[in-house]
Chains A and B, each alone.
Chain A
Amino acid sequence: MTENGKPKLAMYWAAGCGGCEISVLNIHEHILTVDEVFDLVFFPAIADFKISDLEGYPDGFIDVCLFNGAIRNSENEEMAELLRQKSKIMVAYGSCAYEGCIPALSNLTSKDATFNAVYLDNPSIDNPDRILPQISFEVPEGELTLPEFYHTVKSLDQVVDVDYYLPGCPPESPQVWAVLQVVVAALLEGALLPPKGSIVGASNVAVCEECPLEKQDKSITRFYRPYEITPDPTICLLEQGIVCMGPATRAGCGALCPQVSMGCRGCYGPLEGVDDQGAKMLSAIASVIGVGNPDMEEDELEQEIQAVVDTIPDPAGTFYRFSMAHSLLRRAKVNADRSGETQ
């Protein structure tokens, strides 16, 4: 804490949608307190900072860095490493930085398939020479460079050491403000910081605890996609056949989505002791499929259950919507021969 003695705050926006920046500004009048308390030293989203400014700071100059967005290309990684070098506390802010989120869903396909869809065969593309972006390109004026597009999207903690995780897509503003208060209390009054690596701004019980919908025994005979059903708003959505990730996702958001009859998507990430949110939810939801009993013949049993399973067309996309990068398998094996398999 040099010059004016105010703690230094930085926020960077890597592969993300910018919703996290908005969520910081969304803490309403508290933003004034933030401004009063903190000295914004690097916040490209709201003020014109340059990388050279960042490089100019001494190591550890920034007290708190809120890093949001996943690591999609080399620039994201370099900035992450640079910010880590320059910051005392690195916070993986929001689901992208914490566990890959929507960007990481591209791990279900490959870099070439992505380029193919974006730059080559696409109805709105006119690219006869089939030009693809290159990392470096010589022009008379000199060399033009672009960051390298990685095969696999990674979460922040897979490239640098992360101090705290603030889940949510985006994190709920009241949680953001609560975290900032803790940080301020620690920096100014020397209060104790939570142990390194812990998840802040979320509870360690599942969303169901905060969800007001009435819950009974679960026995599901088919699943519906949101457009296929208008659910009873007072009863647990999962029991009505809507895939709701609530049971396998941390609370903290106040169960906003289920209260408007939308199944929880799982953006606050898995609970303590769960290694893979997708597989865990799959296990829970499959166990309560209410079809098939021990007296049936083996193949009839399988057919009946398969019929229910078929009503979830995209299990990977549904169960790994936010935690793909943190899943045990991280990505799909792309050179597998999937020609024979129709989706």
Chain B
Amino acid sequence: MKQYALYPGCSLEKIAQSYRVSAIETSRAMGVELKEIDDWNCCGATAYFHVDELLSYTLVARNLAIAEKENLDFVAPCSACYKNAYFTKKYLNQDPELAEHINYALEEDNLHFTGNIAVKHLIEVFVQDLGVEQIRDKVSNPLEGLRVAPYYGCQIVRPRKDHEDVEEPQFFEDLISAMGAEPVDYPNKVRCCGGSLIITSRVAALSLVRVLLQSAVDSNAMVIATACPLCQVNLECYQEQVNQEFGTEYSIPILYFTQILGLSLGIPAKRLGIGTELVSTKEVLTYAQKKENDL
């Protein structure tokens, strides 16, 4: 049973409970154990890096150091946590003085950062480590006919990591087809969802959300799959405000990729945290209905 050091991050504690639950369910079903890091701290999200870079590196380095203690690869389901962890490890490896400076601080907790563990986003665990073939074999309840729009969000691919093409990534589409569903050609799949702008300048963020929703409708997708709690919130919870602001009637369900994957693996919706959404996901469930009850 391959183990990973799970760094849930603050979203998975509160608003993204369903992401957390579905992540653990699906990974267990795929033979992978997400072992939560004990005594982890906030990762600084997107804002803190611009306030005080040194302290934000220290915050993230502490989490990495804890994971290193158990010598497990560091997995972050949330894109912002993943980006911070990825670049902290990169810059500390490149700048020995910075690392030494931060390690001096970590000694308080008798922790030490060396940077010898891999940093992965949850979706990478499924797509790269497990691989699409292995997932397709495990899918017991293929979601034929369900058209899913793969929404990468921005921080998974940018700033440029060692992913494939930043403009035209394909790994999310492969995952969806492995679930038996039909990935939709979604042109705005790497466009920004507004992120924390939703609070600071609401209308600008809402117009970005609107573009994403409209594009999903144009590509006649039935559901948008995301891999980041903030994107999920912006896309789902603010559909109402987008409709008010722009006079549109969007009603598109937004689910985490782990939830849809869970359905295809035959895991009942309740155990995937499905049912608490603001936008009804009943239609999506009809595609998963057939096999559910004989589990």
* Touch between chains A and B, by CB atoms below 8 Å: no
**B residues touching A (Cβ–Cβ < 8 Å)?**
none
